[in-house]
Amino acid sequence: MSSIDRVVLTELMSEELSRLGRDELLDVAREVQQGLSFCLSRALPCAELIELLHDLAKSLPRIRLSKVYSGAVPAEADERSFVDLEFLEGVARGLYIYYMLLLGLADHELRVPVRFDEEIVLGGRRYRAFSTRLVRVTEAVALLLAGAKMRIVMPGDIAKRVNALLRGG
């Protein structure tokens, strides 16, 4: 059984997030490179292999993210056994914060009030330190997750939840 088959089958068969370590990922990458080399060296079309890669790259993150978001992560999870866990947890945190802000604070243009504690330049716009501006929810979440020195101006209860998520809780 190929590494690609093993990774996909393990993920589909398990209700919890399955282990996906660096070695498994490198095995899959090697198989892909070998397959592409084989196709290209014989001037064969690689369309089927590329389609397989496309499907894998599209569906595997969806499955893994849904498991992380629903809390189906083994208790003994570590970064060596789950190479993408930290990233998936960050995405899940970002989604939660996004919807908290969208449903609780956003105006009709999907903006939220942000207080900047330092000067930030984002997309050609300059936000001065100690100013409060309306910023698109997506940009506000990205800035929060990136650790920008700013805070969303929000009621205390929502702020407690968002701040706990940013600290990893």
Mean pLDDT along residues 130-135? 94
Helices vs strands, H then E, count in the chain: 6, 5
Instruction: Determine the pLDDT at residue 149.
Output: 92
Q: Is the Cβ–Cβ distance between 27 and 3 less than 8 Å? A: yes
What's the rounded Cα separation, in Å, for the pair 20 and 60? Answer: 11
For 7-55, what is each residue's pLDDT tens digit?
888 998 999 999 999 999 899 889 888 888 888 887 767 888 888 888 8
Of 78, 92, 83, nearest to 141 by C-alpha is 92
Distances from the Cα of 103 to the Cα of 95, 98, 107, 167, angstroms: 12, 9, 10, 21
What's the rounded Cα separation, in Å, for the pair 140 and 166? Answer: 13
In DSSP terms, which residues pair with 127 in a beta bridge? Answer: 120
pTM of the model: 0.78
Mean pLDDT along residues 49-70? 89
Of 155, 123, 148, nearest to 166 by C-alpha is 148
For 67-108, what is each residue's pLDDT tens digit?
998 989 888 877 778 999 989 998 998 998 899 888 888 999
Higher-scoring residue by pLDDT: 79, 110: 110
Q: Which residues contact 133 (CB under 8 A, 6 or more apart)?
A: 113, 114, 116, 127
Would you place residue 136 in the very low, low, confident or very high pLDDT band (cuts 50, 70, 90)?
Answer: very high
Instruction: Determine the pLDDT at residue 169.
Output: 60
